[in-house]
Amino acid sequence: MCELARSRLIAWIDGELEGAEALAVSAHVESCPTCQGEARAIRSLSRDIGEYARAVTARPRPASYKWLAAAAVVVLSVGLMWIRPEREPAVSETRPAHPGVLVAVPLDEVLPVGAAPPGAMLVGYMDFDATGQPSSFRVQ
């Protein structure tokens, strides 16, 4: 076994140690095969966790930007506002089964270049039907 605490090895890998402490751990790892193996395992596991997390959300988001383009045009014609709907009063039994998703979309992602003022955003509630397709968009 080795005298270096594993939490310090992790902090060293993460670049969280400074100055003399970082140098001391570097010197130790260089001469300690156990810690070299540990460091490899920690880095590999960290990569796996990152891949897992990215895979979880790699599917397209339910709010389709293409679909939103139509709504964006409507809002632009009404005027450029930041629109913040009041939320449902409580998230208990009064909460509807499908309360919708609050969506904020940079307009330049859904409109042709130059069609929207720079930085403009569309904000509203997107509802979905049972198949997960967007069914309505409420800019209240």
Partner 1 sequence: MASNIQPVPFAQTTEVESLFREWRSPLERYLVCSGMARDEALDIVQDTFLRLHQHLLAGGDRANLRAWAFRVAHNAALNRRKSGAWRLTSPLAEASRTAVAADPERLLFHKERFRRLHAAMKELTSAERACVLLRSEGLRYREIAEALEIPMSTIADHLDRALRKLGEKCNV
Least distance to partner 1, CB of residue 50, Å: 5
Mention every residue, 6+ apart, whose C-beta is less than 8 A from residue 29: 4, 9, 12, 35, 36, 39
Q: Please say whether the beta carbons of 102 and 125 come within 8 A.
A: yes
* Chain-centre distance for alpha carbon 102: 15
Quick one: 10 or 101, whose CB is closer to Zn ion? Answer: 10
Compute the distance between CA of residue 3 and CA of residue 87 in angstroms, rounded to an integer.
55
Quick one: 6 or 23, whose CB is closer to partner 1? Answer: 6
Cα–Cα separations (whole angstroms), residue 80 to 73, 116, 117, 140: 11, 10, 9, 14
42 contacts Zn ion (rule: CB under 5 A) = no
Which of Zn ion, partner 1, none binds 32 (CB below 5-8 Å, type-dependent)? Zn ion
Which of partner 1, Zn ion, none binds 68 (CB below 5-8 Å, type-dependent)? none
In this structure, what token pair is assigned to residue 88? 């449902």
Compute the distance between CA of residue 69 and CA of residue 122 in angstroms, rounded to an integer.
10
Q: Please say whether the beta carbons of 75 and 139 come within 8 A.
A: yes
Least distance to partner 1, CB of residue 109, Å: 9
Quick one: 39 or 101, whose CB is closer to Zn ion? Answer: 39
Least distance to Zn ion, CB of residue 3, Å: 7
Residues near partner 1 (CB under 8 A) are 5-8, 10-11, 14, 16, 41-42, 45-46, 48-50, 52-59, 61-63, 80-86, 90-92, 95, 99, 101-104, 106, 117-121, 123, 128, 140
Contacts with Zn ion by CB under 5 A lie at 2, 4, 32, 34-35
